[in-house]
Structure 1
Amino acid sequence: MKHLISMRDIEREEIEEILEEANRMENLLNNKKPLKLLEGKILATIFYEPSTRTRLSFETAMKRLGGEVITMDAKASSVAKGESLIDTVRVISGYSDIIVLRHPREGAARLAAKYSSVPIINAGDGANQHPTQTLLDLYTIKRELGKIDNIRIAFIGDLKYGRTVHSLVYALSLFNNIEFFFISPENLKIPEEIKEYLRRRGLRFKETKEFIDEEIDVLYVTRLQKERFTPEEYEKVKGSYKITKEFVEGKNFIIMHPLPRVDEIDYEVDNLPNAKYFKQSYYGIPVRMAILYKLLRDSDKALQ
């Protein structure tokens, strides 16, 4: 695996290898000992959109592994002078050993991979894919439920623009006996191409505008992404759903959320045993450590 661009490029065996490596990394983190697995390596982060968890967890992961980090601020770089993504990537791949890229345009990471001399990790390309979030989502499910096969998962909120949802659906389709529930306003439904993909694979799914009254294992909540709407569109859908303490109490499912949260989960839910979204955020560190280690190890092998 030279780059990590889309979950559609990865087979189940590779996913399981990364999750196993992430578990090893988590154990190493718990030992509280300095690591030198990527000593001498440099990670470059290129973010054209805002980020807290993805950017900082990647930087933390690299430093935990003994590597170094350089960062490009798009607003304070030559991008402001009109430099193209291709030229930016060509230059920065000469300064670093691996690049994490977030860009508002779908397909930007795949384009960057064509011109980079080092591995590219897609940290989100528009409403398309967010593969590292998906891998930490899968790790969360496995750590909290003890399995990924044979689960029922409900996605709620913005399923049209939610790249974390799109990536996770594709990844879960590689596992056995997964049942999907898609809960959203009419104009934020899961894209038709994803539903057609599930139909071709013979996977079960149900669409609804209302909360479901069925037993599920995971409730995956997403915010309505204001930045991807016109003001008029956003006013029509804001506040569509809110997960409350009263709704959750007595239920057995775990609650996940890629964060940031706006108002879709009440703060009172945070203290319930169902709430796993802050642990999910923490799991991003060992998972991204595993991804960095695997890509750089494979890259070094390819050069030998």
Structure 2
Amino acid sequence: MQPAKEESDVQLYHVLGAKQFTRSALDEIFEISGSMERIVEKGGSDRYKNKVMTTLFFEPSTRTRLSFESAMSRLGGKVIGTENAAQFSSTIKGETLEDTIRVVSGYSDIIVMRHTEIGAAERAAAVATVPILNAGDGAGEHPTQALLDLYTIKKEIGRLDNLHVVMVGDLANGRTVHSLSYLLANYQNIHISFTAPENVQIPPYVKKYLDDKGITYEEEYDLTRAASTADVIYQTRIQKERFTSLDEYEKASGKYIIDAELLGVMRKKSIILHPLPRAGEISVQVDEDPRAAYFRQAQNGLYVRMALIEKCF
């Protein structure tokens, strides 16, 4: 007699931040992500044909919104929502986020939300009667992006321990960097180099979390030096929309660019990641290099978000 299949001991309801994930939870999500790749190759599934996802995006998005919508569609579900909730929802009439979530919960089985304010996902989860998936909250976190980033590293390099990761660009406002740093803290022998203009350095609260987890890091201003020993270079855009003045933006813009010259000092088996969109910080001539993994990274977002939907249901 075959033993009964054990249920997962990794529970997941809301996806609010990267700190909620343990190493065992990450292992399971990545295993499910691999199975989702095979489902996509076979033309999708109808397992959630009676489920509805609502996408509430108070900030612009291309990859995150469309990959979530594609993920739900490929699992047989339906999608409703708005890509400009700040303008085309009752928020413009003065409705609170909490009231919006209370109402939308009644229409949905799961809600994916991007918001301008740090902590908005937690506020939504406090009143929601369905799972909330944080698709980015201001300059705070972007946990689903970090999950797909980590999945990409695992696929491309073959390991998640013993890595030197160089994070480049707007590290103060870069929510993807914050979330990825928290996820990397689950692994062994991780060293992070933070390479950023002086006015957009990594926040102290991220460094404190890494200190508490025993992760070594440095603030390295020389990208060439950091890149020469990197396994992963994680480039990010200088986010003009996050700056309070044009002067501050111009202090940070254009300082660190990945180009053919930098490729020459990188390891042969290293990879370049970027959460996209890019705005000149990776030269297009880099795209043909096999180490340029950012478009494969974006594709992986579909599989990881399918896996998250699966776990939340």
Report the TM-score when normalising by structure 2: 0.92
- 2:296 corresponds in structure 1 to 279
Q: Distance in 1 between matches of 2:100 and 2:144?
A: 22
Deviations 1:192-233 (A, max 9, x none): 121122222222111122214241110000000000002221
2:18 alignment counterpart: 7
More moved, 187-196 vs 254-263: 187-196
**Matches for 1:1-304 after TM superposition, within 5 Å:** 1-31=12-42, 33-72=43-82, 73-74=84-85, 75-213=87-225, 214-229=228-243, 230-249=245-264, 251=266, 252=268, 253-296=270-313
Tell me which moved more, 188-197 or 44-53. 188-197
Offset at residue 250 of structure 1 (A): 5.9
Name structure 1 gaps, 5 residues minimum: 297-304
> What letter is aligned with 1:111?
R
Secondary structure of 1:45's partner? strand
Partners of 2:186 and 2:110 lie apart in 1 by 27
Select between 55-64 and 5-14 the one with higher mean Cα deviation: 5-14
Q: C-alpha distance in 2, partners of 1:247/1:232?
A: 28
Contact 1:38–1:293, Cα closer than 8 Å, also in 2: no
The one-letter code matched in structure 2 to 1:5 is L
Tell me, what secondary structure is at the counterpart of 1:220? strand
How far apart are residue 157 of structure 1 and its match?
0.5
Unmatched segments (≥5 aa) in structure 2: 1-11
Alpha-carbon shift at residue 44 of structure 1 (Å): 0.2
Q: Verify the 8 A CA contact 2:237 2:277 in the aligned structure 1.
A: yes
What is the distance in 2 between the residues matched to 1:88 and 1:176?
42
Q: 1:120 and 1:200 mapped to 2: Cα distance?
A: 28
**Aligned residue number for residue 4 of structure 2:** none
Secondary structure, aligned partner of 2:111: strand
Detail structure 1 runs of 4+ shifted over 6 Å in the superposition.
Answer: none
**Identity, % of aligned positions:** 49
Aligned-CA RMSD value? 1.1
Give the AA of the match of 1:268. Answer: Q
8 Å CA contact retained: 2:112, 2:134: yes
The TM-score normalised by the length of structure 1 is 0.95
- Which amino acid is 1:160 matched to? A
Deviation at 1:37, TM superposition (A): 1.8
Tell me, what secondary structure is at the counterpart of 1:43?
strand
Aligned residues of 2:199 and 2:248 also touching (Cα < 8 A) = no
What is the identity, as a one-letter code, of the residue corresponding to 1:37? Answer: R
Q: In the TM superposition, what whole-angstrom CA distance separates every residue of 1:44-76 from its partner, at most 9, and x where no partner exists?
A: 000000000000000000000000000133112
The residue aligned with 2:8 is: none
Q: Residues of 2 paired with 1:277 and 1:293: CA distance?
A: 25
Matched letter for residue 72 of structure 2: M
Q: Is the 8 A contact 1:184 1:210 kept in 2?
A: no
CA 1:163–1:44: 2 relative to 1, 3 Å: same
Q: Any idea what the Cα deviations from partners look like across 1:169-192, whole Å, max 9, x if unmatched?
A: 000001111111100111111111
Deviations 1:120-178 (A, max 9, x none): 00000011110100110011000100111111100011111100000000000011111
